A and B are shown apart, each in its own frame.
Chain A
Amino acid sequence: NAGVTQTPKFRVLKTGQSMTLLCAQDMNHEYMYWYRQDPGMGLRLIHYSVGEGTTAKGEVPDGYNVSRLKKQNFLLGLESAAPSQTSVYFCASSYLGSSYNEQFFGPGTRLTVL
């Protein structure tokens, strides 16, 4: 099993460009999450999904959109990238919610917006 994978691993964007980060899991997990990690701050929740076809906002959702068309995939989109979105992005998944199961994390995507 590959666990949780993220594509791409690194990306450099110019301000205003768009991109999509892909997260895939092969553990049949219902819940999937997108977090961002910035220096000096803890990980912060961007969006999450409790099942195929559902998404919900987290702590810092502005400037991002997500989709969960298939159970195994969770996409994070940046429509018009800004330098403030320079960060490391982690995807995670769990069988049930945060109060019940541990989360499995992907390796991260390092995004730089110039």
Chain B
Amino acid sequence: KNEVEQSPQNLTAQEGEFITINCSYSVGISALHWLQQHPGGGIVSLFMLSSGKKKHGRLIATINIQEKHSSLHITASHPRDSAVYICAAPYSGGGADGLTFGKGTHLIIQP
């Protein structure tokens, strides 16, 4: 099973700050997922990436496959970015499917 670690667990920042959330995993993978869980509980997929960098609006995700590390960045953060951000990696070995998740980073952006 892939072990997924995220840091920090909690992050409070001021509006406009540049935010970085880190994710490391233990077993080589072909793709990594970043998800967002809204305060109301809903979960949406933000990115799935296998190499390099992806950008959606103010969100940027990067991955270094060799170092087994990924980062999620938020530029010009806004209070509406307040949510839990979750990193997830596919199960590896034995042909199993599904995701193994980090515990999440609880982000609060203050006005």
Question: Could you list which residues of chain A lie within 8 angstroms of chain B, going by C-beta atoms?
Answer: 31, 33, 40-45, 48, 50, 56, 58-59, 88, 90, 92, 97-105, 107-108
Contact = CB atoms under 8 A, between A and B. Distances in A.
Contacts of A50: 97
25 contacts: A41-B103, A42-B86, A42-B102, A42-B104, A43-B101, A45-B91, A56-B97, A88-B41, A92-B43, A97-B97, A98-B31, A98-B33, A98-B91, A98-B97, A100-B30, A101-B48, A102-B33, A102-B45, A103-B99, A105-B42, A105-B43, A105-B45, A107-B41, A108-B42, A108-B43
Interface string B79-101: 00000001010110000111111
B27 interface: no
A100 B45 contact: no
Interface residues of B, number: 26
The A interface, classified by DSSP as helix, strand, loop or mixed, is loop
Taking each of B31, B41, B97, B101, which has the highest tally of chain A beta carbons within 10 Å of its own beta carbon? Answer: B97
Contacts of B31: 98-100
B76 interface: no
Nearest to B1: A59
